[in-house]
Every structure is written in C-alpha cells, then in structure tokens.
Chain A
Amino acid sequence: MPTFVYMTRCDGCGHCVDICPSDIMHINKTYRRAYNIEPNMCWECYSCVKACPQNAIDVRGYAEFAPLGHSVRVLREEAKGTISWRIEFRDGRVKNFVSPIRTTPWGSIPSPTELEAPSAEAMKSQELAHEPDALNIDKLPALTPDQLKLGVV
C-alpha cells in the first residue's frame, strides 16, 4: 500500500524525507511538496505517515491486490505515549485500536558513559554491560563441554 501526499496539506517540511527507510519520499521541485517517487519500493511501514506533522500522508493499498475504498489511518502521539489506529473496510465497517508506545520520557535513556567505567578484570570476563545484574540471575551461564560430538544428535 504505497503512500501518497495530499497537495493542500503538505507544507514541504521534509520530515518524511528524513525518516523514510527506503529513501522514496522526496520533495517535488515544482510544487515544493513531498511525494512518493518509487511506490513499488514502499514497504507500507507508515514511518512517513507517523512522522508527518500535517497528517498530509496517507496510503492507498497496492493496486496489484488491494481493491479500492479502504483506509488505515494512524495518529502517533509521542507526548501521550500512544498510537491510535482507525481501520475502515471497503464495505464501511470500522475498527479502532489504541496502544502504548513508550513508558518513559523521550530522551531519558542514559548514555553508557554515565555508568561507572568497567574494570580491566571485567574486560577480560565474558560479561557484557550491566551483567550479571541485568540478567536477574546470580551469574552469567557458561558451558563447560567435556566432549564435542560430531554427527547427528
């Protein structure tokens, strides 16, 4: 379901261009607004739809297998920490869903540099950052193989 952009809503801000993982949202030089330059390389990931401050981007299911008349709209609200969906079927039935997207404030993840620097001893061990504490068990498991087996097991 490739994306398309409504002419009257897009202000050419370029958020969609910045975020598109497939690099297919570009600014049209004549109209100075965004559009999908390569619909057949669109994964319908909705990254651009979610990122658009003007709600100017929508999706029309791939012509190859999606009959017209449907809509799947989304509103992602970072401050509220939610994402809301509205699905409208071809025959007019509607379903709504809301899910949380994050439980902590955006930008709140500490950098590893804020943690105490690891010792030379720790560098030699098999433990990774935050271990063993973050494992919630006493220590990192390890194998002590007494023999190696070849063939089918």
Chain B
Amino acid sequence: MGLFSRRKTVFVDSDVLVVGGGMAGCGATYESRYWGRDLKVVCVEKANIDRSGAVAQGLYAINCYMGMQWDENQPEDHVRYARNDLMGLVREDLGYDIARHVDATVHKFEEWGLPFMKDPETGRYQREGKWQIMIHGESYKPIVAEAARKAATQVYNRIMVTHLLMDKTKPNRVAGAVGFNVRTGDFYVFRGKAVIVCAGGASHIFKPRSTGEGMGRTWYAPWSSASAYALPILAGAKMTQMENRIVLTRFKDGYGPVGAYFLHLKTYTENAYGNEYESNWYEQTKELVGDYIDRHPVPTCLRNHAILEEVKAGRGPIRMVTKEAFQDPHLETIGWENFLGMTIGQAVVWASQNIDPKHTNPELTTSEPYVMGSHATCSGAWASGPEDYAPDEYQWGYNRMMTVEGLFGAGDTIGGTAHKFSSGSFTEGRIAAKAAVKYVNDLGRDEPQVSEQEYEELEKIIFQPLENYQVGSNEIVAGTVSPSYMLPLHGLQRLEKIMDEYVGGISAHYTTNTPLLTRGIELLDMLKEDLAHLGAEDLHQLQRAWELQHRVLASESVTHHTMFRQETRWPGYYYRADHPKLDDTNWHCFTLSRYDRQSAEWELEKAPVYHIVD
C-alpha cells in the first residue's frame, strides 16, 4: 500500500446498516426488510454469514424457548430465572421482551428447515431442560443466513468494520461505519441512517488455559473479538455490567458443553475421590453471598465457586460421572452427537486420549474468563427498553437504541439481558430492527451526514499498520522482532497477560483488588499507546490488528468497571479480594460507564435495578 496504493474507497448507502451477520445480525436483517419494504438494508460481516458468529459450528440445543403454546413457561418465569442466575441484576424489561417474542422466532426456524427433536409421546419439542430444546443444528447458521440473504438489499462478506461514523451536525448521532475489505484491501464507507451493532462478544481478552497451538480452542469463538463493545464505546455509548465476565465449567481442553450432560443425560459431578463436594462449601458460600446460595437453581457462578474451592483444597480434578448414563445406547449417541453438533474439538480430544465416557468419567475444568452478553452473563451497551412497559429511566427513545441517537444493538452487544443465547439473540435483532425502521421512518428529511474529514482521518488510522510494517521491516534482516513495530499476536499476548494477572484471570484464581486493577490500567494505557505501532504484514494481519484494538478497548472497560464495583457479586466468575462479600446495600445496581474519545477518560455511575416481575 502506501504511496502507490491502488486502494479504492467504496461508498455504500443504506437506511438500516447491520454490523455483524451472526444470529443477532441475521435477525436484524430479516426483520428490517419485513417492516421496511422499500428501505435499503445492508448487512456487513467480517467473515461469511453462512458460517459466522458464535453459531458458525452449529448448535445441538436452542437454550431459550418458553413453550407458551403448551404452557410450559411464561416470559415472567424466564425473567425470574435469569435474575436469579445473575445474582439479582438483570434488565427485566429487556429480558421479558425477548422472552415474549422468542417462541415465534423458534417456530420460524422449524418452518425454515431446522430439524427439531420431538418428544415421541407428546409430539412437542424435546426438552433438554426447563428452557432448552434439542435440535440437529449442524446447519443452524447456514439456514438462518439464508433467511437474512433473502431479506437484505446486500450482504457484504469479508469486511471488517473498525469504527462507527458520527453525524456531522449532531455529535451524539450515528451516521454510518467504516471498515476495510479483508480480501481486496478496499476502504469502505457505509452511510446508514440507523446502525444496528450485532457484532461478537469477547474471547481472548484473558489469557487462555491453552497458549500454544491450542490457543484457538477457546470456549467462545476466537473470532468473537469484542467489536460488540469497542464500536459503541468509541461512539460514546454508555455500557453496563462490563465487569460481569463469565467463567465456564466445561470438559477439559476441548471446552465441550455440559448442558445436555447435566440436564438430559442426568450425569453429575464428583471430586477426584468420588465424593459429592458442593455441600462442603455451602456454609462458606453463604458467608459470602447470603441467601443467594439457597436459590434454585443454584446460580451458575456459585456452582463454579464450589469447584474452584474444592480444587484449591487439593481434591481435583472434578469429574463428570458419565459411566452410568452412557450404558444406554440412546444416551450415548446423544452424548457424542452433542459435541459433533457444536464442539467437535471435544470429540477429537476424547478420541486422541482414548476417553470413552462409557468407561471413563471425563475431567472438567473452569475456563478463562469471557466478556459477552448472551450466555449466563450480561455485559453490553445500555439500551432503551420496550415502549409499552419499560420504566421511565430505562426508556429514552426507541427500543434497543443505545444512548447514541440512531445506534441500536442486539445479541452480545446489548447489556443486562442474560440467557438469550442463539434464539434470543436473533429475536433481539428482530426487536432492534423494527425499532430502527421506525426511527428511519420518523427521521424524514433530517438525515445524518457523514463527515468527509472524519472518514478520511479514519482511513489513515485504519491502514497505518500496513505502512508501519513495510517501513519497519526494512530495518531488520528477518524475523518477528522489530524495534519499530509490534505484531498483532504480540499485542494480544500482552493484553491477555495483563488481564490474567491484574484483572482476575486463571493464574490469579480469578482474584483481583484495587492495587492490582490500578496497575493493570497503567499497563493497559501503555499497551494502548503501543497500538499506534502495530505492524501488519498483509490484510489478514490488518484484520488481526483491528480485532486487537477492539479487544483492548473492551478490556479497558472491563477493568474500570471491575474497579468501580466494590463488592464480589459473582464469586466463581471473579473475586474482589478487598471486597470479598456480596453487598446488596450499596451495590444492588447496574454499573454504567461512558468513554470520552477526546480525553480518553472513563466516567462511571450507578443505575437502579427495577424489578417489574415479582
């Protein structure tokens, strides 16, 4: 590139711009077309929507389905469940909204061709647990992507969106997005009247347990690079619950899921000596969190806590007792197909180590932390709630609009709504899209304008790593060590080490405190400065460079939020050693942050948790 660059600038106009084509993005694209028949609906994806996002590999269950038609559950029940699991703190208005719509989404999936398992006696969807239904979901993502492709004016694959664009006249209004084509290197300027961020949550911000060839075998996909957070943060949107990282108990090394094993196969865990261990830690946990330990089901973080304590006491590894269930050939098939449908790597680990769960009880482990908004955790942007019942303080405009005008979100992007999973993320995309279409219709002629100066400045910043590399690599003979630039992998490993050691990763037993966090922020600041010296050898490395930029910004947010919340709300996810107990008197609230792009300062505040369901 550089002086003789043949890079083109491509301008794309849209009414609704969907950033990210995973489950939420496909839902947003589909619904935008339904309500906005004449609108230009554009979906931009950094990979290929047929296999992108967290569901790229497939899923063996849909984890959010009410079954209202059979009176299995009502939306209120789901709100209670998510609230309980997140130790009291969820946006009940948003969670209810997803729950009341999600069944319609799931029924469409079946109509579109996704194979569902049925209970042979009742003919209903086969339940795995209270909320989960079982599917043959190898092609879940290509099927959902087909619906989005049919709906979109155009889908742009292989474009990494790096920044949102702000309106020239109204500083708190979004006007589009910029990015680059990972194949051609062309610069893309998307003008959008409304923008729906449906990008991915954050893997690889904490050092993973596997750091060699296996580092890509994280629980959440390695391509979930925190764009869900970095894009809104840079645009000045308020974020919530960013401290609420999640740690997963999973089968060792492959991070194969345990849901079907616990719920459907009725397997259970025991310590290395064959004993039940959760009761060993009941009193101690009660000291920390009070009555929350008595709730049913026991919150996910507290079950992790018991495992962590038992392992620290020297009675690890914790094992899943599979030998009994796997004697039933039907259950054995389910156990294996469950992995083949969504975490093939676990089947490979077991095949390679001769682990047949019919004869061996496999080891479990607790993962490195992740930051995301759709599983048993709820980090993300602070969004306006549904018009018909959200409390005034949760409502300032259109449903799922962030605190930036015209900027909407869904899936991992939106905070406070745990347990939405794949179906809930698609549903939230639909909710956001209908609101975005309404917003575009209401705009009339007051359309946002992109600023030429802004996108031209961003173009320079975006492609700088290519130039850094080209210039810097002439200084050295060969190899990866340069005094002038840092490779994306170097930056990623530094980030992971900082977050691991200072912000509560695996090597610190998920524990941190004010002095550690303070030092962590100092080191993150230096890393941020060094990002100006990223070097990218080619367009693939340029993508890695921008994924790293997004991860670093999200990590900074996580660290500030963790510092702000002076309690240990979710033991088993992380511990504030200087505030070891849950503190409902002072911290039964959401944490909110806003980043100022000009000053690079973070402002934090509390927001009330309103309970609208008994």
Residues of chain A touching chain B, judged by Cβ–Cβ distance below 8 Å, are: 1-2, 18-24, 26, 37-47, 59, 61-72, 74, 76, 83, 85, 87-91, 93, 95, 97, 99-113, 115, 117-118, 123, 126, 128-132, 134-137, 140-145, 148-153
Contacts and interface: CB of A to CB of B under 8 A. Distances in A.
Interface string B167-184: 000000000000000100
Nearest to A18: B48
B531 to A, nearest CB: 19
Interface stretch (B309-317, B338-346, B408-416): B338-346
Closest 5 CB pairs of A and B: A104-B113, A62-B214, A136-B69, A64-B214, A134-B104
Contacts of A19: 48, 50-51
B583 to A, nearest CB: 11
B138 A45 contact: no
A1 B350 CA distance: 12
Contact of B352 (A38, A90, A105, A152): A90
Contacts of B337: 97, 99
A106 B142 CA distance: 9
Interface in B146-173: 146-147, 150-151, 158
Contact of B34 (A62, A100, A106, A118): A118
Interface stretch (B190-198, B216-224, B514-522): B216-224
A102 B114 contact: yes
Given A43-B216, A102-B143, A112-B31, 11 more contacts: A41-B216, A45-B51, A66-B353, A87-B336, A90-B351, A106-B146, A112-B151, A130-B104, A136-B68, A145-B389, A153-B83
B319 interface: no
Contacts of A137: 68-69, 103
Contact of A21 (B56, B151, B350, B611): B56
Contact of A46 (B151, B344, B352): B344
B136 A140 contact: no
B113 A1 contact: no
Nearest to B45: A21
B351 A45 contact: no
A28 B182 CA distance: 17
Nearest to A129: B34
20 contacts: A1-B345, A21-B221, A21-B223, A43-B216, A43-B217, A43-B222, A43-B223, A44-B348, A68-B352, A72-B351, A97-B333, A97-B337, A99-B136, A101-B136, A112-B30, A129-B34, A135-B104, A142-B100, A143-B388, A149-B612
A103 to B, nearest CB: 5
Contacts of A103: 113-115
B41 to A, nearest CB: 10
Contacts of A140: 100-101
Contact of B430 (A59, A68, A85, A129): A129
B74 interface: yes
A37 B146 contact: no
Contact of B138 (A101, A110, A117, A149): A101
Given A43-B222, A85-B340, A153-B614, A70 B114 contact: no
A76 B150 CA distance: 23
A141 B52 CA distance: 32
B23 to A, nearest CB: 13
B37 A23 contact: no
A43 B212 contact: no
Interface in B297-317: none
Contact of B52 (A21, A61, A105): A21
B352 A97 contact: no
Contact of A95 (B50, B336, B344): B336
Contacts of B434: 123, 128-129
B216 A97 contact: no
A126 B139 contact: no
B354 A91 contact: yes
Interface string B200-219: 00000000001011111110
A104 B216 contact: no
B31 A72 contact: no
A144 B76 CA distance: 12
Interface in B59-113: 68-69, 74-76, 83, 88, 93, 96, 100-101, 103-104, 107-108, 112-113
A40 B213 contact: yes
B113 A126 contact: no
A85 B351 CA distance: 13
A143 B143 CA distance: 33
B222 A22 contact: yes
A136 B345 contact: no
A31 B387 CA distance: 59
A69 B352 CA distance: 7
Contact of B101 (A62, A68, A97, A131): A131
Contacts of A148: 391, 610-612
From B31, B53, B75, B222, residue with most partner A Cβ within 10 Å: B222
Nearest to A1: B348
B404 interface: no
Contacts of B33: 111-113
A150 B69 CA distance: 32
Contacts of B353: 66-67, 90
A72 B347 contact: yes
Given A18-B48, A115-B34, A117-B37, A87 B333 contact: no
A96 B540 CA distance: 37
B336 A109 contact: no
